[in-house]
Amino acid sequence: MANLTAVLTQLEQERSRLTAQLDQVGNALAALKGSGMAKKRSMSAAARGRIRSAQKARWAKWRKTHKER
């Protein structure tokens, strides 16, 4: 029975050590996500439509001035 108690004590110590290491890894990941990494921005459909219209107008103007003669 003494061996079983010793094994259980060692396993609990190992679990505590691993938990501490996992906390450190989690903190490192949180730090990397929080600083230096930009959050991906999304654009509304209306904004994409305005950009699309403006680009079409630019191309139309370019085609008008560079018409094949």
Domain boundaries, the chain: 1-33
Can you give the pLDDT at residue 34? 73
Average pLDDT rounded to a whole number, residues 34-55: 86
Which tens digit of pLDDT belongs to each residue from 12-37?
A: 999 999 999 999 999 888 888 776 55
Can you give the pLDDT at residue 22? 95
Following DSSP, what letter does each residue of 1-69 receive, concatenated?
A: -HHHHHHHHHHHHHHHHHHHHHHHHHHHHHHHHHSS-PPPP---HHHHHHHHHHHHHHHHHHHHHT---
